[in-house]
Amino acid sequence: MTSSRRHTGRPASRPAARSSSRRTSSGEIPRPHPPRLDLAAPTGLVDGDASELLFSQHAEGLRLTGETLHGEDLTGARIVDSELIDIVLQEVTLTGATVAETRLQRLASPHLAAPRSTWRAVEVLGSRVGVAELYESGLSEVRVAESKMDLVNLRGASLTDVELSGCTLTELDLGGASVRRLRVTDTGIGTLDLSGASLDHVDLRGARLERIIGLTGLRGATISPEQLVELAPALAEHLGLDVRV
């Protein structure tokens, strides 16, 4: 977050990480790899207004502050190397949009409709979202911090190098998603749906989990001993165990 580097495009390809379920030569299971985040606040921005984005479906190098958009269709729009502060989105469509090298601060949206969108090198800070429809989207180098969201629908999405910190999520749906290098810290998750998910280097030790759907999808995740104890009844039921004294 404090790095001075600015992104100029897609991150360079990196060698594939080994699955966290494999053991090292010493027989130990390696620790989960943390997300590779190199995020910086955009610099050299020009103050603009939402009319530029609405007219051209493109915003680059802009700082938008205190704007409210209602009922706008931004399908396929591109927001690049920009900063959005105190923006309110009401019934705004962002299907297939691209948000890259951008910081969103105190975003407010009762319904963020952004399926099949792309989020690359993005920070979302201090925001409040009701329903976030992000199914079949691609997230890479994304940090969400100090934010509250009711339902985050990431079914069938691809997540690489993502961090959730200091957040509250009523429901996080990762059904059928491919998740690689996700770290959750100091975050409460009411319901976590992992049905059919593929996890690799996913660190859930900092999550307060109330309910998990699709326990088989936990394979590839790291949890704490305390979380294992809390999950014991659900695991027993999932495995069909008869536990008696």
What one-character-per-residue DSSP string does 64-98 give?
EES-EEES-B-TT-EEES-EEES-EEES-B-TT-E
Q: Is the dihedral of CA 35, 179, 22, 203 positive or negative?
A: positive
pLDDT of residue 123: 98
| pTM for the predicted model, two decimal places | 0.84
243 — pLDDT class (breaks 50, 70, 90): confident
Tokens 């975003």 belong to residue: 107
Amino acid at 44: G
Both tokens of 148, joined, read 């509250």
Chain segment 43-56, per-residue pLDDT in tens: 999 999 898 899 99
d(CA 56, CA 127): 26
d(CA 117, CA 121): 13
Chain segment 62-99, per-residue pLDDT in tens: 999 999 999 999 999 999 999 999 999 999 999 999 99
- Please report, for residues 17, 179, 239, the alpha-carbon distance to residue 155 in angstroms, rounded to integers and kept in the order given: 23, 11, 25
Domains detected in the chain: 46-239 (2.160.20)
Amino acid at 142: V
Both tokens of 106, joined, read 């105190």
Given a contact cutoff of 8 angstroms between Cβ atoms, the answer to whether 62 and 87 are in contact is: no
